Chains A and B, each alone.
Chain A
């Protein structure tokens, strides 16, 4: 997958593009798994919004003088080892677990209409909370990004 490319490329813009490709692949997997709404939400939110946001941040913080130094943090060997260990443990657990369902169930059919009904009835409190959280987070982001600029002027 493109995730490895997103983490290993040297040029930051290429990393962001590889991340977008990776998210498109994930959305395709979601669609394959019968989760249409989540697949399209993934494309809209990640490829549409988060990737653009990250590209903007990269372009805003571009500094040309760091081309020749190492792209890796000093403690990268333990980091990679820890990641490989995490993957090994997870893969071992997945392959040897007896508690996994067999996967023989028929594909669940959930229409977007049913999702909307559930959002408006059973999940109404989480919906309100997530709306409040998003508003607060976006206002906070604007405030954080603006205040330093005023100080600098």
Chain B
């Protein structure tokens, strides 16, 4: 097994764990953490392919990861703000009780 395959397998494991957490936990914050784990799995793939793939000379993989980290930070901020707003309104972070569109 080459190192690239090792990285890809680790990334697949990370994605699967994040996916399982995002769909199977009750708490909204835990779902958000699962989404972050999935984004990081994608980043790990970018880095691995940048490291072990054909050299391209302009570091496109690194650039993509930098932008992905920025987008993930923005997404985490907005997601947590939404969770806090819903919590103030409904007094819960349980995903099963957030079943109304109209507050």
Contact = CB atoms under 8 A, between A and B. Distances in A.
> On chain B, which size bracket covers the interface?
35 or more
Nearest to A80: B20
24 contacts: A1-B14, A3-B13, A3-B18, A7-B30, A23-B40, A26-B43, A26-B44, A35-B62, A35-B65, A38-B43, A38-B69, A45-B73, A61-B83, A61-B84, A75-B24, A80-B20, A86-B12, A86-B15, A87-B12, A87-B13, A108-B50, A115-B59, A115-B62, A134-B73
Q: Is the interface of A mostly helix, strand, loop or mixed?
A: helix
A109 B12 CA distance: 26
Contacts of B65: 35, 38
Contact of A101 (B52, B80, B87): B52
Given A42-B69, A90-B15, A101-B4, A33 B84 contact: no
Interface in A5-62: 6-8, 12, 15-16, 19, 22-23, 26, 29-30, 33-35, 37-38, 41-42, 45-46, 49-50, 53-54, 56-58, 60-61
Contacts of A38: 43, 47, 62, 65-66, 69
A149 B88 contact: yes
Contacts, number: 232
A114 B62 CA distance: 11
Interface of A: 1, 3-4, 6-8, 12, 15-16, 19, 22-23, 26, 29-30, 33-35, 37-38, 41-42, 45-46, 49-50, 53-54, 56-58, 60-61, 63, 66, 70-76, 79-80, 82-84, 86-87, 90-91, 94-95, 100-103, 105-108, 110, 114-115, 118-119, 122-123, 126, 130, 133-134, 137-138, 140-142, 144-145, 147-149, 152
